[in-house]
A and B are shown apart, each in its own frame.
Chain A
Amino acid sequence: MAETKNLLLRLDPGLAAQLQAVAEVEERPMAEVVREAIRTLIEARRRDDQFQRRLRDSAREHDRTLRALRAAED
């Protein structure tokens, strides 16, 4: 038997039903369907110049803070 993992998701009932239907039709785990949806969104964001610029600007502006946070976590 394939290894499985329970997926706890808070979704509204309509969206949950659609997600379950897609997963059953495609015979894929629901997590994989969700991951696929996120991957599509990631691709869309890749072409979103405004978002990319804003995120990079924020990372540059807060560079020292981000490095300090990472160092504190390590």
Chain B
Amino acid sequence: MYLDESKLVWAAALVADVDPDELLARVDVAALATIVADVDEAIGPIDAAARLLVRVVRDRPFLTGNAAIGWLAAVEVLAAAGWRVSVHRARVLRLCGDIREGVLSDADAAAVLGRWVVEDGRACPACGRRVYTRDAAAGWRLMPGGSRFELTARCAFEHGRHDRSGRSVVSPGYYRVEPRRQVLARGACGSFLVTGDRTNVVVSPFCDDPPIVRVVEVDEVRPGDLVGRWDRLVERSSTLGFVPANEARPDESGCVDLGRLRRALRDSRPHGAVAAGGDVAPCPVGVL
């Protein structure tokens, strides 16, 4: 079902700036029910939106503002399907005028609408997920200068399934539960390496306030990796997630509870959300 009477009343109430209950008392409910029944027979969201616009503009079930109500309700039907409409208002005015004069059929209106519909947001170059969907802060659309780097970083912020470079963030579900493990090596700015039977992890400071650490899974540690900067070690590894620093802090004996760390990773927020919550201290894995 694309629409019910209540959605149409809500759209009308928003356009008329009145309470929906108040508006309902003055509306012809039979006309509304007939429109909804017609829309329900549509074969897709665009067809449904077109039928809705044509019926509301032509049958005028509301006292005033029928074209505006029809347009907003049609946009809502498309938005519910994950689409948005990108068109200049002059064209919408012309479309509604043609509908009112009976020049356009349902199919004609659907064909016109179909040309204006775009999928909401933009595709991430790294993973294809949609970003900038319905984001008022982004001005409803991506700025012309939006590059693949911006889209990838934005996707990391919104979905958190890869980092800002597009490297995938391995699901914490694959992380093995292991007992407490001794810290093998420490970096200069608070990073440390813990090795286990199956997994090695590097924990490094990510954010100072609130204290957040990044947990990186390292498949293999070569002797040269721990000499100087740990960049090479991190480059060929996958970020597991971002957790509160106290969840990964070594105890007095220098051991880290990997079971606790795993649970924290499972409950952790996407790192974009973490970054948004506080100032990010750019702290690469340190030196020995």
Contacts and interface: CB of A to CB of B under 8 A. Distances in A.
Contacts of A74: 64
Nearest to B70: A69
A66 B140 CA distance: 17
Contacts of B131: none
B116 to A, nearest CB: 11
Nearest to A53: B134
Contacts of B5: 38, 41
Given A41-B5, A72-B67, A66 B72 contact: yes
A61 B84 CA distance: 10
B14 A72 contact: no
Nearest to B96: A69
A58 B75 contact: yes
A45 interface: yes
Interface string B72-90: 1001100110001100011
B269 interface: no
B6 interface: yes
Interface string A44-63: 11100001001111111110
A68 interface: yes
A55 to B, nearest CB: 6
Interface in B76-115: 76, 79-80, 84-85, 89-90, 92-93, 96-97
Nearest to B13: A42
A30 B9 CA distance: 19
A28 interface: no
A31 interface: yes
Contacts of B166: none
A73 B88 CA distance: 18
Interface residues of B, number: 41
B18 interface: no
Interface residues of A, number: 35
A68 B34 contact: no
Q: Most chain-B CB neighbours within 10 Å: which of A31, A61, A67, A69?
A: A69
Given A9-B30, A42-B6, A58 B76 contact: yes
Interface of B: 4-7, 9-11, 14-15, 20-21, 24-25, 29-30, 32-34, 37, 64-68, 71-72, 75-76, 79-80, 84-85, 89-90, 92-93, 96-97, 134, 136, 140
Interface of A: 7-11, 31, 34-35, 38-39, 41-42, 44-46, 51, 54-62, 64-70, 72-74
